[in-house]
Amino acid sequence: MSISKLFAEKNVVFSFEIFPPKRDSSIDTIWNTLEQLEGLGPDFISVTYGAGGGGGKSYTAQIAGAIRRKYGILPLAHLTCVNSTREEIKQSLADLREEGVEDILALRGDRIPGVEPKTDFPHASDLISFIREEGGFSLSGACYPEVHTEAPDPVTDIRNLKKKVDAGAEHLVSQLFFDNAAFYAFVERARIAGITVPIEAGIMPVVNAKQITRMVSLCGASLPQKFARMISRYEGNPAALRDAGIAYAVDQIVDLIAQGVEGIHLYTMNDPDVARRISGAVENLRRA
């Protein structure tokens, strides 16, 4: 079954995101993480691809294959195109086929400072069209409730998103956000623009102070007053910040599910304890 079909069957799709280890020597840690995530019953698990500009690139297909074979969970393999040629993408598709992976989150990827981007696929929609022509995969795309950092305005960003869906994206996963109102307004804009595919809300539990500055500078998520107050109060107390960050994420998820969101994509940061605490807190909501 492809991921987009899950949405027809489930009240709320609940998925996790993990990232491959940066060093070869750390690959065992990902198997330990997956052992623990398996028991939480996610509908699918996505695996990032070279996020942050490098590292772990070659493990995405291998880890996604193991998620399917070893744990019997649907994998969603991320694939970026900004630094790849057509031939390199063909090779990545062959690797995914060999691993039996059928769902791809097709992304442009971030430009690496000082590295000239390749020109075969300028946008994610170009990658989506290409994979669709190659055949054999179901495709997902990324979306940005608070507008992609390079987009000139929200209208242009939504128009570009529509191109991605028209090219063949059957499901969208959102960038993280801390303000649910921004997500609701975005979904409304998308629906008005004729984007009808399921949109999953990306939730990132903030469990350490370092994470916040990095994330906000990368994705430009706005910080509601309630969130900012929580951070400034507990940033010097790691255990309290962890509890508060988890509670904030749970609060966001409860509101999203109550408002009828189609799916929650939890950025687990490879931390099974955080995933377990959040999954446990919303277990009955997933079924209600």
Size of the site for ligand FAD (CB under 6 A): 24
Tell me, yes or no, if 170 is annotated catalytic: no
Binding ligand FAD by CB under 6 A: which of 50, 56, 145, 205? Answer: 50
Query: Nearer Cβ to ligand FAD, position 3 or 173?
Result: 173
Q: Which stretch binds ligand FAD (CB under 6 A): 1-9, 123-131, 207-215, 234-242?
A: 123-131
76 strand-pairing partners: 46, 103
Burial of 239 (0-12, 13-18, 19+ CB in 10 A): exposed
Rounded Cα gap, residues 5 and 19, in angstroms: 24
Residues 13-32 that bind ligand FAD (CB under 6 A): none
Among residues 264, 212, 193, 226, the alpha carbon closest in space to that of 11 is found at 264
Does position 107 interact with ligand FAD (CB under 6 A)? The reply is yes
Tokens encoding 70: 């070893």
Rounded Cα gap, residues 62 and 20, in angstroms: 10
Does position 76 interact with ligand FAD (CB under 6 A)? The reply is no
Instruction: Write down the least CB distance from residue 233 to ligand FAD, Å.
Output: 29
Rounded Cα gap, residues 13 and 4, in angstroms: 10
**Distance, first Cα to last Cα, the chain:** 23
Task: Answer for the pair 104, 128: CB distance below 8 angstroms, yes or no.
Answer: no
Instruction: Write down the least CB distance from residue 124 to ligand FAD, Å.
Output: 3
Does position 75 interact with ligand FAD (CB under 6 A)? The reply is no
Tell how strand 199-203 and strand 13-18 pair up: unpaired
Instruction: Write down the least CB distance from residue 167 to ligand FAD, Å.
Output: 9
Cβ-proximal residues to 20 (8 Å cutoff; 6+ apart), any chain = 27, 30, 47, 48, 55, 56, 57, 59, 60, 63
Does position 123 interact with ligand FAD (CB under 6 A)? The reply is yes
Task: Answer for the pair 88, 130: CB distance below 8 angstroms, yes or no.
Answer: no
Q: How many CB atoms lie within 10 A of CB 155?
A: 12
Query: Nearer Cβ to ligand FAD, position 164 or 242?
Result: 164
Instruction: Write down the least CB distance from residue 232 to ligand FAD, Å.
Output: 27
Instruction: Write down the least CB distance from residue 228 to ligand FAD, Å.
Output: 22
Catalytic option among 17, 102, 146, 200 = 17
Does position 160 interact with ligand FAD (CB under 6 A)? The reply is yes
Query: Nearer Cβ to ligand FAD, position 108 or 242?
Result: 108
Does position 261 interact with ligand FAD (CB under 6 A)? The reply is no
Does position 78 interact with ligand FAD (CB under 6 A)? The reply is yes
Q: Which residues bind ligand FAD (CB under 6 A)?
A: 48-51, 78, 80, 107-110, 123-125, 142, 148, 150-151, 157, 160, 163-164, 173, 175, 202
Question: Looking at the annotation, which residues are catalytic?
Answer: 17
